[in-house]
Amino acid sequence: MLLHLYFHKLQTCLKSKIKYNTMRLILKTILIFCITAACCINPAFSKQNLSQKVKDEFVYVWNNYKKYAWGYDDLKPISKSGSNWYNKTVCMTAVDAYDAMLLMGLEKEAKEAKKLIKDSLNFEIDDYVSNFEMTIRILGGLLSAYQLDNDVYFLRMAEDLGQRLLPAFNSPTGLPYRYVNLKTGDTRDAINVTSEIGTLVLEYGTLSKFSGNPVYFNVAKNALIGLNSRKDPNTGLPGLLIDIETGEWVFKESSISGGIDSYYEYLIKGAMLFKDQELLKIYDESKKNIEKYLCDTVDNRIWYGAANMQTGTRTRTEFGAIDAYYIPVLLLGGDTVKAQNLMKSCFYMWDYYSMSPEKFNYMTNELLIKSSELRPELFESAYFLWQSTQDSSLITRCEDMLNTIIIKCKVLGGYAPIADLLGNKKIDLLNSYFLSETLKYAFLILNDEPTFDLENVIFSTQGHLFFKD
Ligand code: DMJ
């Protein structure tokens, strides 16, 4: 019947010489109608195809990594090569992606990644590494791998890494140095970032749980408490940068954004994973201060800006892709309404630029940092919001977002982030979070048949899985 109608229309159009564009529009409408009808008749049809699509894109990236960057930390999708963060590889892409492979049931790829890790990962590296990045990506990846596939190798490697990172905490305040040499234990950079100090407790705490050595949990929790005790007594807000030798803030601007972000995330997630009332109390107080000093409403949309940590006065009205992380934080803290409102704002931002920009001014819509870096936070938020509300429009949204990134970022050597949303230039580096988070959360929301029971899981800031007791 439909086909008949279509051909009838086609004939009519040809006769009346309707332009090619009109024809395309009609054809597109019919196609959308057919797909929608097929999905309504069999909803499983749609979801199965969508989750398979995410898996296909994941495998596409992994195959390019194998071809052009095997053994390196990151894939460079434009120059079709690889690069390392330090003077030796830490197998970042493989370690970060491994649990996503297990979740997606990608057995062949998981075997390849595990072999690469076992053959090449060695922490005897005479270089200064970031305590934060090594923790969220490598320590988190290894511990998640251990919990999912029970191979004790992963735990042994996590313990080795944990031991090598520990000297970072040898400071007068107990707050960690930013960098530590994995071979010598030397440290550097006493000026550290709030999020980098406050985003360790999930991984360190889990290492304590499995190794039986409490030192890891203690140093990481101590860092969180240390940050809390140094918040401004007037506003209760933390700054962005602190001198960990003196305990003095050196950049006194507060926000929920990059540089502070996952500190808040680990207060609530740490409280939940370790049933820690002290962390919960700090989170609850923090939330009140955030609402009081950082939240703005513009045209019925809520945003979070930056403020002077001592006075609470607004310093910037900026928001960006990364800030959507606050939606799952709000959900975990029990504020579903606020989470839904912030989700609307984030979709507004995505729609305005056809992808989430790194930063824009929410008062003027001006683009401030023009790149769009294939970040996970919007998929992550949609997944957790869908979990708590079952709002199926979120699935449609994610499908659209997935299609957009396929169209805009897929290149011959993998996926490349956008350097400038107003132009065509791309960035020649695919961050490992694209596999460990972005595609993982896209898969989770678009998939119906989970391979693991995720009921008791807390996802780390890098998308790794930590099971509650
Ligand atoms: C990830 O590396 C982590 O989520 C980190 O905490 C900050 N955000 C990036 C992804 O955007």
Q: Identify whether 377 is a catalytic site residue.
A: yes
Per-residue pLDDT, 47: 73
| Strand pairing report for 74-76 and 81-83 | antiparallel
Whether 462 is in the pocket of ligand 1, judged by its Cβ within 6 Å, is: yes
The pick from 264, 369, 461 for probing ligand 1's pocket by mutation, whose C-beta has the most ligand atoms within 8 angstroms, reads: 461
Q: One of 73, 96, 133, 323 is an active-site residue; which one?
A: 133
| Residue 226, pLDDT above cutoff 90 | yes
Global pTM reads 0.91
Q: 241-245, 355-359, 454-458 — which is least confidently predicted?
A: 454-458
Strand, coil or helix: 49: helix
Is the pLDDT at 258 greater than 50? The verdict is: yes
Q: Residue 166 burial by CB count (10 A; 0-12/13-18/19+): exposed, middle or buried?
A: middle
Residues 62-99: b if buried by 16+ CB within 10 A, e if exposed: bebbeebbeebbbbbbbebebebbbebbbbbbbbbbbb
CA–CA separation, 94 vs 435, rounded Å?
9
Distances (CA, A) of 367 to 133, 319, 352, 360, 418: 28, 10, 10, 4, 14
Which one of 434, 437, 438, 439 would you pick to mutate in the ligand 1 pocket, going by the greatest count of ligand atoms within 8 A of its CB?
Answer: 437
Atom of ligand 1 nearest to the CA of 463: 4
pLDDT tens sequence across 36-74: 444 444 444 477 789 999 999 999 999 999 999 999 999
pLDDT of residue 13: 40
Query: What's the CA gap between 54 and 271, in Å, rounded?
Result: 32
Q: What is the pLDDT of residue 30?
A: 54
Measure the CA–CA gap between 24 and 208, rounded to whole angstroms.
61
Q: Is the beta carbon of 461 within 6 A of some atom in ligand 1?
A: yes
What are the pLDDT digits (tens) for 173-215? 999 999 999 999 999 999 999 999 999 999 999 999 999 999 9
- Quote the ligand 1 centre to 461 CA distance (angstroms): 6
Ligand 1: which atom is nearest the Cα of residue 432? 2
298 to 8, 349, 364, 370: CA distances (angstroms) = 50, 13, 10, 22
Q: What pLDDT was estimated at residue 36?
A: 46
133 CA: nearest ligand 1 atom: 2
